[in-house]
Amino acid sequence: MSLKDYEILSKLGEGAYSIVFKVRRLSDNKIYALKKVRLCRLKEKEKRNALNEVRILASIHHKNVISYKEAFYDDDSQSLCLVMEYADGGDLFQKVQFYQKKGTYMSEKFIWGLVIQIARGTKALHELNIVHRDLKSANVFLTTDGKIKIGDMNVSKVAKGCLEHTQTGTPYYASPEVWKDLPYDIRSDLWSFGCVLYEAICLKPPFRGEDMQSLFKKVTKGEYTPIPRTFSQDLQQIVSHLLQINPSNRLTCSQILQLPCVINHINDIICEETENLLLKTINFPTKINKVIENLPRPNFEETIPNNNKSLVLPQMGTKNIIIRDISAPPLKTHQERENSEKSLYYLKKYREMILKQNYGALQLPKVKYPIQNVASGKCINGKVQKEFTIAQRIKSEKISRKPSTNRSIAVGHKPPDN
């Protein structure tokens, strides 16, 4: 796997250490997002962040989180390349800007979809104790079929039973505890969630200031203008319960999804709950070109499993036939965590494919039975066995009968003289 396997279509964005491209994978002709990080220019901490994003994306399998496809190291450009799901509807920040120019608010139906799907995606992260740390409208991605996905895990971190201290994220969405340089945890994301929701409703962030000092005062005091009255009181309540100065007073994602007003809108938005498992930390190797050995497996739909196991079919009278490199069902990064229905479905397809491609290996060989004599006179269980002979069938001669006598005379022989 390398950059030669992809056709670069356009540039989607550029950061301080990376560039994101819209690409087409040549093998399946599908569109993906490819993030290219120049590792040779990064410090050790930045390199760990790049590998940490790969680890977190590969750990989460949820419809409301941008999915991991594959990661590889490109020798020519000395870059770590991360291939991800492509959101064909842009991001929420672009949508906010569009409605700002249009001069109208977004529909409340879309806002409820935003509440439910961001809550589900954030819940999947928090269940693994992952703090996103940079949840903002530019990192909430949209698809043309109505799905909303959280992405950009570059500064996300796994909280190992303690609070974080590092100041990170975008100032407009940062929580009061981050501004005050106090310890924080996953509840910091809930504040950012409230800021994103407010911005989608009002088309502007809840906290703004002429400079960093004035912004700091507004955030730490929790002062913001209420949302327009054209929106329901239920939305106002959710926003106010997320933008709480005290982190312990904020609604968790699970609590949001259990609110009656939210449940009334959930029926319109179907999402499959999946079980996620956090991958081990990806250590950065001494030799940079060996980074590929530590990367997770590809997660494309048509990926062939590379588990070094071959299917062996026994055959009578011959050696075992070993079938290698045959098509297989889609392989997730952790296939043991797939639900039973998908596993059974793929297993059925897998078996049908084997039968179709290797039917000849399953046919029994033809056996020719030679002339045999069954041993006689042997005593088995106190009984003497009779003798049987299996011989080739011989064509019999024609026999004629003389009416005057009752003897059979063979044709071609004279009767004896009296």
134 is catalytic: yes
Catalytic residue (one of 134, 185, 268, 325):
134
Structure tokens belonging to residue 199: 């911005």
* Cross-strand pairs, 44: none
Please state, in angstroms and as integers, the Cα–Cα distance from residue 94 to each residue in 91, 101, 133, 136, following that order: 6, 11, 21, 12
Whole-angstrom Cα distance, residue 369 to residue 308? 40
> Dihedral sign, CA of 95, 96, 101, 102?
positive
Cα–Cα distance between 200 and 284 in angstroms, integer? Answer: 39
The two structure tokens encoding residue 53: 């994003």
Establish whether 35 is an annotated binding residue.
Answer: yes
Angle at 248 between CA 246 and CA 251, to 5 degrees: 105
Specify the DSSP element, H or E, that contains 93.
helix 92-102
Q: How far apart are CA 179 and CA 167, in angstroms?
A: 8
| Residue that is written with structure tokens 């045959």 in the block | 326
- Contact at 8 Å (CB) between 377 and 387? yes
Q: Checking phi first, is residue 187 left (phi over 0); if not, alpha (psi -120 to 50) or beta?
A: alpha
- Helix segments in 137-275, DSSP class H: 176-179, 187-202, 212-221, 233-242, 253-257, 260-266
DSSP 3-state assignment of 157?
strand
SS3 46: helix
- Helix ranges (H only) for 103-206 are 108-126, 176-179, 187-202
Question: With 0-12 CB in 10 A as exposed, 13-18 as middle and 19+ as buried, what is 58?
Answer: buried
Amino acid at 234: D
Question: Using CA atoms, how far apart are residues 175 and 243, in angstroms rounded to an integer?
Answer: 9
d(CA 320, CA 100): 69
One-letter identity of residue 102: K
With 0-12 / 13-18 / 19 or more C-beta atoms within 10 angstroms meaning exposed / middle / buried, residue 256 is buried
Separation CA 3–CA 210 (nearest Å): 44
Query: Residues annotated in the binding site, as ranges?
Result: 35
Query: Residues annotated in the binding site for ATP, as ranges?
Result: 35
Provide the annotated active-site residues.
134
